Structure 1
Amino acid sequence: MFQHRHLLKKLFMIVLAGFVLTNCGVRQKYTILYNLGGTSSGTATNDIVDISKNIKRFRFEKVVDSSVGAKNNFIQLLKGKVDFAITHNSISVKNCRDVKLSKKEIENENNLRVVAPLYGEKLFIIYPDSLKAKSLPELMEGRRIGVGPKTSALKDLLVDLMEHYKVDINKCTFVNTPYKQNKVTNNKIDVSCFLTDYNDKTVRAQLSNPDLVLFDLDASTTNPKLSSAEGFRIFHPEVHTFIIPAKLYGHTPKKPAITIGVSAVLLTHKDVHKHKVYDLIDNIFKFNSKGHILNRMEEDFDPDDLHYAIHEGTTLFQDRNRPTFIERYSKPIASGLSVLIAGFAAFMRWRNNRRYRLLREFYQRALELEKRINQKGGEAFYREAFAEILAIKAQVYDLLIEGKIQVNDNFLAFQALINNLILQLTISDPESAKIE
């Protein structure tokens, strides 16, 4: 007996503790992948974690990963190692053929959702100015091309681009290195490629060398929409064309240069509650400090440009300030209502006129009968007249019940005339009134 009481007491204390903790504001924890190495995604992740401290519903815990690259981050999401991660919009399972994934992990791709595109990552192709390359095949063929770590998705995108520009891939050697070691050197790398942001420290450090320059994908134009890179985008809708401003890195590029890029997106799983995703986006826009990489986030973006569906919470956030149906279509609705009201008014006029004409016919019949009563006499005539008056009265009341005649001043005048005729006939021939 004592043991039962002790167990019940213990259970009660556990439930009470849970209740107290719940009501003391304990927030749910979500994990977010943090890459070391000073990358844009690492900077953005830090910003997101700091901003999330303002959120009451949940908090973030960083999962530190020494591996760098959008491909690595994507794989960690597929494996369920983290709840949130920043990766590239162009990444999919097809980029992970060299990684062993279970069937369940592959199927997890269908559960991924975009929280938001965060910023654009551009393709930077850095090479010695002494090469004087005029085309991508001329630059790449026979060269050692640095593409960073194997966990990066850069190589897949770069190969697709090179094939579009008719580069013979078999004549190219791709070199994987740690991110910061992806540099143009005499003995390892001839061309260094990055998929990153304008402010990337490794890119800036290389381009501080006046002998290294950026490659322009289409030197014939400064309009991305008219460039050959736009042709590549048609077949790869998740890719965007960008302009690298002239003299951005001092000596290079000499004029605005065309390149391609992808959006860095914050991905999560679809089962994360929509209101928590809503709170996250809302707080990013509320508390993001100037100068941070997240400042380039845009509230409205085209879901068709994204490889994955947007999260339900993101849709909720985007719809928060959108005009209602009434607000969006107020003018056509107002015009429609005006037409409807005018039409209804015209219908009512027609209906009232019809009722008036109908009552007028019976009124005229009653007036003609009154004339005959005043001109003629005799018991037979009075009976006939009385029957006709009652018939007129019955017809009018039937029409009144059917709604084809309404009670108004005209009807009251008609009713007074009928009652007057009945009274007149009753006085003239009391016997005839008995048929009523």
Structure 2
Amino acid sequence: MSNLDSLESGKADFGIVDNYSRFSDKVSVVMPLYPQLLHILYRKEKSPQSLRELFTMGKIFAGIEGSGTRMFVDELMKDMGIEKSECTFVDVYDFFEADVIFAFTDLLTQEELRDLEGYHLYSIDEVANLGQGSLAEAICTRHPEFEPYIIAHDLYGSFTERAILTIKVDAILVCRTDLDPRLVYNMMKVLSENSQDLKNINPLLYQFSSDFDSRKLSFMLHPGSRDYLDRNAPTFFERYAELMGVIVTILVALASTLYTIRKWQLQKKKNKIDVYYQRIMAIRRNAQVVENTETLLALKTELQATQEETIDLVTDEKLLADDSFVIFLNLYKIVNEEIDKKLNLLLGV
């Protein structure tokens, strides 16, 4: 049973898997730990001339079913147009019967190297081709979770008589998705605080960090991990303080503009009522000097028309029904009464 299976079944709370394992919504990432190197080994008596030939030269061990290594090898075969029927895979119990071994591991130990003394390491391409469109780069283009990696000359002593071009993928610490976020948060906190001790365990852990890009992960990030990554993140107001300042400035400017426009509109309406004041006063002055009923009746008609016009303007909201309008109505009433009184005198009523 793989680590992923153990997590899905609830038999384990935490586990380490390749960042190329099959996706499961029951499993979430805590954090990346260290890179795992792809070691491709073949028996010394063999001499493969290409990666394609490697797949057809005998028994292959590529991890257990469902593992990240097996998924990668299956995808690589598809990319190269190799049918499964052309290959013979063996399980872990027949590991040393394999003619070819694919394994994502950390650095091999001296004990492991002794166990593998009947094998050579296979280089995916010439190291000199790195950066020039090498096969390793082609694989990483199709599978961006991987990166090219050079196993240095003599890193494994006589086992690496020349530099080996391969690829690497992160080993990631994962957990059950339903674990308490506080537990996961504290797990990350402990690992981060003891990162120096971890780096002393294995050279590949030298770049271990609790700050990482979660977009490159094959699983969802656990909420507890997200909380830890965001622990020093600025608050909403801190993050958008400058933007909010700009927005407030714009709102103030807009309010000021609207106030100015409103004030102008009110002044415009006030200026309009002043025009009607002047018209009524002109009618009043004319009525005071007129001595015939016909002209007075005409002035009275003009006065009434002026009043009706202002009422229409108020109805259409083109004139304010404020104190100025009340004064206008009172003035209208006074002038109208004066005209009526003078008409009565002229008519002898």
Same structural fold, with TM-score higher than 0.5 when normalized by the shorter chain:
yes
Q: Does 1:120 align with 2:31?
A: no
Question: In 2, Cα distance between the equivalents of 1:253 and 1:375?
Answer: 122
Encode CA deviations 1:373-421: one digit per residue, 9 max, x unaligned.
3454289979959x87x959x959968xx797598xxx7xx58986996
Aligned to 1:83: 13
Question: In 1, Cα distance between the equivalents of 2:111 and 2:252?
Answer: 67
Letter in 2 for 1:296: F
Aligned to 1:299: 211
Letter in 2 for 1:91: S
Q: State the Cα distance separating 1:289 from its structure 2 match.
A: 2.5
Aligned to 1:218: 125
Q: State the Cα distance separating 1:123 from its structure 2 match.
A: 0.8
Q: Cα–Cα, structure 1 residues 317 and 309, in superposed 2: closer, same or farther, change >3 Å?
A: same
Q: Cα–Cα, structure 1 residues 303 and 311, in superposed 2: closer, same or farther, change >3 Å?
A: same
Aligned partners of 2:137 and 2:147 also within 8 Å: yes
Report which structure shows greater RCO (CA 8 Å, sep ≥6). 2
Aligned to 2:2: 72
Question: In 1, Cα distance between the equivalents of 2:52 and 2:275?
Answer: 101
Question: In 2, Cα distance between the equivalents of 1:201 and 1:228?
Answer: 27
Aligned partners of 1:137 and 1:168 also within 8 Å: no
Letter in 2 for 1:272: L
State the SS of the aligned residue for 2:129. coil
State the SS of the aligned residue for 2:220. coil
Aligned partners of 1:141 and 1:167 also within 8 Å: no
Q: State the Cα distance separating 1:119 from its structure 2 match.
A: 2.6
Question: In 1, Cα distance between the equivalents of 2:151 and 2:175?
Answer: 33
State the SS of the aligned residue for 2:38. strand
Q: Cα–Cα, structure 1 residues 406 and 422, in superposed 2: closer, same or farther, change >3 Å?
A: closer
Aligned partners of 2:58 and 2:88 also within 8 Å: yes
Of 195, 200, 219, the match for 1:288: 195
Q: Cα–Cα, structure 1 residues 142 and 397, in superposed 2: closer, same or farther, change >3 Å?
A: closer
Letter in 2 for 1:222: L
Aligned to 2:150: 244
Q: Does 1:276 align with 2:183?
A: yes
Of 254, 277, 281, the match for 1:366: 277
Aligned partners of 1:243 and 1:257 also within 8 Å: yes
Aligned to 1:40: none
Encode CA deviations 1:11-39: one digit per residue, 9 max, x unaligned.
xxxxxxxxxxxxxxxxxxxxxxxxxxxxx
Q: Does 1:195 align with 2:107?
A: no
Larger Rg: 2
Question: In 2, Cα distance between the equivalents of 1:405 and 1:168?
Answer: 88
Q: Cα–Cα, structure 1 residues 156 and 342, in superposed 2: closer, same or farther, change >3 Å?
A: closer
Q: Cα–Cα, structure 1 residues 285 and 248, in superposed 2: closer, same or farther, change >3 Å?
A: farther
Letter in 2 for 1:195: F
Aligned to 1:60: none
Aligned to 2:222: 311
Aligned partners of 2:272 and 2:319 also within 8 Å: no
Of 42, 51, 55, the match for 1:136: 51
Letter in 1 for 2:221: I
State the SS of the aligned residue for 1:289. helix
Question: In 1, Cα distance between the equivalents of 2:327 and 2:173?
Answer: 86
Number of residue equivalences: 329
Q: State the Cα distance separating 1:297 from its structure 2 match.
A: 4.1
Aligned to 1:258: 166
Q: State the Cα distance separating 1:348 from its structure 2 match.
A: 3.0
| Root mean square deviation, CA, Å | 5.2
Q: Cα–Cα, structure 1 residues 152 and 371, in superposed 2: closer, same or farther, change >3 Å?
A: closer
> 113-122 vs 127-136, which deviates more?
127-136
Mapping of residues 43-62 of structure 1, within 5 Å: none
Aligned partners of 1:141 and 1:168 also within 8 Å: no
Unpaired stretches in structure 1, ≥5 consecutive residues = 1-70, 94-108
Identity of aligned residues (%): 21
